[in-house]
Structure 1
């Protein structure tokens, strides 16, 4: 009987996991997760995502044990640890999910230097990043033609969870990593495939059909799926979600946007560092304004509410993300990279494709076909938080101001003493 190593990376699930299915088809399986010290020391290793990862690993371990196996945990370099396990178990092949980040490509190159048959499988996106290409180009630069190609692309079948997984005997499972760090958001959502599938079933039953009406209602906690972090860690299959929600185009379009940014990042690995489309923007420097924005004390309630939600939950409503990003880049004139780094620190769903891709879209340096688009925060607040409920929730100091008055506390007769006046904007507005 053959033995395969299943290297879990950003696919921390059993259901619809093509790499795991292929490993199981070959015989015995070594389900491996390597706690890469390089990653733990890097900028993506922040308290919220480490906590979410810890939840996901604990859930994955329990699911594997329920099928007769275990999660084999090692610490160090993934290729070195995979090589040691191959020698120990006699494994001849290794399976893992596709990932196009610079780090992932270096990891893959090192794995392919091992005396193993290494196979990369889809699973991180609905449509693999390299599958759709425009005529004469290596990737789509505009979303609408990508969306048409994405919607028409064939889908592989959704794979079931293996009933049993055969683990070679005598393996030491290893210790689960201590990923606790101070500074975790108090309202951070729970990670793991079990929770992801619970949320998905609830969303498909009582949410997705009204998504087009509720998606921009800032105070509606059930107006969006809240599945972004689960997709980021692979606790949920994006393909399974897209297939299950295929009758609801407004929602599946958002999954296509996620894939779109991944194929842009695969073709432009510097997406988190350099302007995708340099437009000669002259960003200014203002450390005080940046700090006020990060801490939710700009004096613009809808902006501050979004930033306080971010710190409390490790999550921000998508409409609030666009409003806060537009305010930072368009109104304050500060470099989008400052905002990207702030979001990278706090967001449980922050990754190297969607986070910078969305920031560059708002800043006008990315894939927006209207690069001068600006979102007026007051108009956005009036439209998407008409009764002030979102502002009242995250800025309790403004709870006494009714409705839209909470969006303009500096214009009331009884201005709140514990809320700052709005920052002075560089254009004098």
Structure 2
């Protein structure tokens, strides 16, 4: 595979985290690397000034996840019969280790972290790569046989794969999201299903039985299929009388649900997914129980950050779609103030207000899509909703709320005012820390 890239003229389109890693990997393998980014930036490789005019001079395009499928430069390359692949596909070409790939609308980073810690506790080297931070192509060529790459795969990344074949593929849930990129829900589902396209009967696939779309994707799988479910006894992982079991050739008790360190139904699903993978990999149930009873969620996933004014404050900055926000609200009890809004991803908010629990007594909205959210609220007969110009105003005003909880779960992307959800989450924490009347 190394020879396939040696001396080839390659354009890396997009010079963010994955683009930089892809360019470096290609350079190490002998390719002649050029880069292009819509925002010209300092690079250690030649910058291609007019890629649409010179597209036909390249042997390969490696495209970053953020570049849309209808991008005019990419179309020029395709018209010139230049192969176009994504960073995930490139990294896979150089990876000799076992791969556990996880996709889904929500929960990917949490489940990848769980799986990585479970594998590490069993004594194998495991690396958490992909969409959650360290690019797959940054580590792919260094991984050894016997090690495990736990790869978080987004729909953007999967949409440009041709040969990617993980030994274990996990589909957590599939809800409407990123419709500004994929245009239709069907196109989004199709992109997610590409995680399965090259698997064979020697591989394994894991599906959420309780998610209609995710479960239906099992019909596209040629691997050995497993499921996880909170409600139903399945071939895989399930809950029965508050005990988690795994069933393949025999039924094995793993641990009591009350021993899990995470809370909320959505995190129970995440735990079941990770435990299913651990059982497929033959990890001892005692190791699983020890890891899962001590697991700490990644930041900004319905994170309890403290109490002010007699209220619990939760930071769910990673809640970037309707299904994530509904899961966050289901995880708390008591009267709640909800803070929503950010940049729009083409999602309809009607479902949010139709399914919103009665415990939500007040809603504050901020961000670029604020008018859209308020219109959906009014259609649903919710008049306890107000717009505020800044997140800081929302946090300050929350102190006067008389209920038990303040939940920041924007149901929107962060790019209107922040660099990413981490920047937004840190900003929320800062505003919280500046509130008076600390009761931590």
**TM over 0.5, shorter chain:** no
Which has the higher relative contact order, 1 or 2, with Cα contacts under 8 A spaced 6 or more apart?
Answer: 1
Higher strand residue share = 2
Higher helix residue share = 1
In the superposition, the TM-score normalised over structure 1's length comes to 0.29
